[in-house]
Structure 1
Amino acid sequence: MHSLSTLAFLIGALVVSGGYCHREVETRSLDQIYEAAKAEGGVVTLWAGGDEKDQQNKLKDAFEARFPDITLNLTVDLSKYHDGRIDEQLAAKNLYVDATFLQSLHDFPRWKSQNALLNYQPLEFKNIFDEFKDSDGAYYGVFILFWSNIWNTDKIDAASAPKEYTDYLKPAFKDKLALTYPNDDDAVAFQFDLIIKQYGWEWFDDLIAQNPHWVRGTATPSTLLSPSLNNVYGATFTSEIGLASSGSLNISFPTKGQFVSWPQTGAIFADAPHPEGAKLLTNFVLSDEYQKASGWSVRRDLPGPSGYPTIFDMPGTNVTAFRDFMLDRAAVERLRFRFEDKIGTAQGFSPLVDDL
């Protein structure tokens, strides 16, 4: 049975005019959309959620290589800052962003209710998991993000390697944890919420006693663990490096606990200055070419990445739970202030360049 918040996300606030909701269903090929995007001006502006400016360079490089006559103007910043700036543009009727990919899943039903989103069903719309998309195509998942256990084998011995969240309370992790402030990022807050519901606030108090290094930004912890940096930080569970270990950085997923995963969600704005460019970008991101190279897919017709099942079949995670968490803003704020009371306000820039 779907919760009310799940239904709110799936249905959205219906955009109607005289009881009729217009949907644009894409039937053109990628190459045909490419020609339309070139004729439009050959540019598309995307605001993407993230902590570090280069986090979506892979997307920019792949898109511009595939469509060399189109420029992707890409700005990466925290989703919680992007959405406010988008609201300002919408209120001023001076929108210059074409599309956005954000973590703030609660924003999309609201924008739909304001008639701010284009009801557009891209080529692979039918194959996107129903749980990830608005029925009219106003918004949909574009790729899967998640957190995992990550540790540096040069700093954490094999016997202490973390598998469950209780492992981080071992003496081996004293002063060696790099963790994102849970009161500064909603997806991190949700990870801590899941752990605390399983092990209690005593676990969090014991974690604080480990003297973790709190940072802003979820890319920062895994960067701090990098073998190229001369520091003591050896482990985190508020970041990700992909689905495979790399060099001395190893990953694992809990078997008793839950890790956070969610569909980063995208939309094209109804008044986008470059709608054809935005459609080209969206269709590219949802294509076989991009989805197969991006880990877990938002499409049900594609298999899980090598060595893994699909995200819905992956043990230890509920890929729709974060959406429900995000829709209850009052509960999120209460949790945020409880974390803040225990560890203080988030300090430093995001990302913490000075720490690197």
Structure 2
Amino acid sequence: MFKLHTLCCAALSAWVASAYDVTLGFNGAPQIENRTIDEIYEAALAEGGIVTLWHGGDETNQQDSLKQAFEARFPNITLNVTVDVSKYHDGNIDRQLATGGVYVDSVILQTLHDYPRWDDEGALLHYIPLDFFNIQPSFRDLRGAWYGVAVFAWSFLWNENRVSEGPKEFDDFLRPEYKDKLVLTYPNDDDAVLYAFDLIMQQYGYEWFEKLLAQNPRWVRGTGTPVTLLSQSNGTSSVTFTSSAGLAPTSPIGIAFPTKGQFVSWAQRAAILKDSPHPEGAKLLHNYILSEEYQAQNGGWSVRKDIPAPEGYQDLADIPSSNPNGFEGFMADRERAERLRLFFEDKIGTPQGLSSLKDDL
């Protein structure tokens, strides 16, 4: 009995040691990068030339362009990237942290609320990359535990061959012409879409939602699915507001943002795990993603304040119909988000069909 008691106490002590609040450790000073990117590259090569990235998304190929660009820029470096829904990635990161088996280097996710929690648990590397101070201040943690690396925004999208005119405001989605032509992501399957519906209905009321349901929208899983369906030459889906196709989509996709209603935008966060097996590779990846070379060519709004918006668009901070910092507060209030999720589940049912990562759309 004594031996069992001793073992239990030892296990409890180990758990407490790994779970205590690290605030009073006063050891949060960041590593400040002062090497050139080529010097970081040499360090990453010496480390083994591997980077393992877990990136949030709902289509397996969504980060293929990043992998190709990164590996082309840095020969003999391999970027192993796994795309999955952020709400699943974060639980698997928690599992790695709980078991001491961290094998992921970099995490770039939509679940913004996870990063302060992971930092409080002492799980994140405090690291200031080369272009850190060019990032919009509200998009970065003071000590470099995390920072935004890409701006995401939901826009109005439509197939110009299937409707006479695209929507300009959320009321337009109730037009008779759009009946049976709307394709929308389940709000109870994606927090960013849930936030979009919350913003809309706080402004337009529940009656707007009732009228939207009368339009007989097609509900789908994944925010990439609506764009795919809109782009199909033989499809009937024509209009959406739960997706993005960049700020200059290819024909026949039209794009607009509301000026009266609020549209969703946020900065997708990145962090390096403190116990990353390839920290130099992760540093190289983050410095590359934040570089002017990469940020200026991504075709959308940049997280960097020194890179102007694409031609024809205002800087995101100057657009009154979006608040890129609002999503963080929504994500942090998990109790409210869960109430909203269950509300919509009651109205439209549980998400049906395969995950968008496994279907063929």
Which residue pairs with 2:26 in the alignment?
Answer: 19
User: 1-side partners of 2:349 and 2:42: how far apart?
Assistant: 52
Which residue pairs with 2:3 in the alignment?
Answer: none
Deviation at 1:15, TM superposition (A): 4.8
What's the CA shift string for 1:102-155, capped at 9, x where partnerless?
000000000001100000010011111111111110000001001000000111
User: 2-side partners of 1:336 and 1:268: how far apart?
Assistant: 30
Q: 1:296 aligns with which of 275, 282, 301?
A: 301
Change (3 A) 1:140 1:252: same
Which residue pairs with 1:140 in the alignment?
Answer: 147
User: 1-side partners of 2:359 and 2:113: how far apart?
Assistant: 32
Would you say the 8 A contact 1:215–1:352 is kept in 2? no
Which residue pairs with 2:129 in the alignment?
Answer: 122
Would you say the 8 A contact 1:308–1:314 is kept in 2? no
Q: Say whether residues 1:104 and 2:108 are aligned partners.
A: no
Q: State the identity %.
A: 60
Which residue pairs with 1:9 in the alignment?
Answer: none
Q: 1:216 aligns with which of 213, 216, 221?
A: 221
What's the CA shift string for 1:130-181, capped at 9, x where partnerless?
11111110000001001000000111113xx211111111111111111000
Deviation at 1:48, TM superposition (A): 0.2
Q: 2:267 aligns with which of 259, 263, 266?
A: 263
Deviation at 1:227, TM superposition (A): 3.8
Deviates more, 1:345-354 or 1:216-225: 345-354
Change (3 A) 1:118 1:56: same
Deviation at 1:355, TM superposition (A): 7.0
Change (3 A) 1:277 1:293: same
Q: 2:355 aligns with which of 339, 350, 355?
A: 350
Q: Say whether residues 1:278 and 2:285 are aligned partners.
A: no
Give me the TM-score of the superposition, normalised by structure 2. 0.92
Deviation at 1:16, TM superposition (A): 4.3
Q: Say whether residues 1:201 and 2:206 are aligned partners.
A: yes
Would you say the 8 A contact 1:148–1:253 is kept in 2? yes
Structure with higher Rg: it is: 2
- 1:107 counterpart letter in structure 2: D
User: 2-side partners of 1:17 and 1:125: how far apart?
Assistant: 26
Deviation at 1:354, TM superposition (A): 5.2
SS in 2 for 1:100: strand
Q: 1:242 aligns with which of 242, 246, 249?
A: 246
What's the CA shift string for 1:267-295, capped at 9, x where partnerless?
00000000000000000000001111121
Which residue pairs with 1:231 in the alignment?
Answer: 235
Deviation at 1:17, TM superposition (A): 5.7
User: 1-side partners of 2:268 and 2:357: how far apart?
Assistant: 23
Would you say the 8 A contact 2:227–2:245 is kept in 1? yes
Would you say the 8 A contact 1:131–1:320 is kept in 2? yes
User: 2-side partners of 1:165 and 1:18: how far apart?
Assistant: 49
What's the CA shift string for 1:204-238, capped at 9, x where partnerless?
1111111111001000001100143x121001000
Would you say the 8 A contact 2:59–2:357 is kept in 1? no
User: 2-side partners of 1:232 and 1:18: how far apart?
Assistant: 59
What's the CA shift string for 1:13-36, capped at 9, x where partnerless?
995464342310001111000000
Deviation at 1:311, TM superposition (A): 1.5
Q: 2:170 aligns with which of 145, 162, 165?
A: 165
Would you say the 8 A contact 2:157–2:253 is kept in 1? yes
User: 2-side partners of 1:335 and 1:62: how far apart?
Assistant: 39
SS in 1 for 2:38: helix
Q: Say whether residues 1:34 and 2:38 are aligned partners.
A: no
Deviation at 1:333, TM superposition (A): 0.5
Deviation at 1:303, TM superposition (A): 1.3
Would you say the 8 A contact 1:124–1:287 is kept in 2? yes
Q: Say whether residues 1:324 and 2:329 are aligned partners.
A: yes
SS in 1 for 2:231: coil
Which residue pairs with 1:82 in the alignment?
Answer: 89
Which residue pairs with 2:71 in the alignment?
Answer: 64
User: 2-side partners of 1:145 and 1:28: how far apart?
Assistant: 30
Q: Output the aligned Cα RMSD.
A: 1.5
Would you say the 8 A contact 1:116–1:271 is kept in 2? yes
SS in 1 for 2:327: helix
Change (3 A) 1:353 1:211: farther
- 2:156 counterpart letter in structure 1: N
Would you say the 8 A contact 2:168–2:256 is kept in 1? yes
User: 1-side partners of 2:21 and 2:68: how far apart?
Assistant: 36
User: 2-side partners of 1:129 and 1:114: how far apart?
Assistant: 25
Would you say the 8 A contact 1:227–1:248 is kept in 2? no
Give me the TM-score of the superposition, normalised by structure 1. 0.93
User: 2-side partners of 1:220 and 1:79: how far apart?
Assistant: 16
SS in 2 for 1:277: helix
Would you say the 8 A contact 1:14–1:112 is kept in 2? no
User: 2-side partners of 1:195 and 1:152: how far apart?
Assistant: 22
Deviation at 1:316, TM superposition (A): 1.5
Deviation at 1:301, TM superposition (A): 1.7
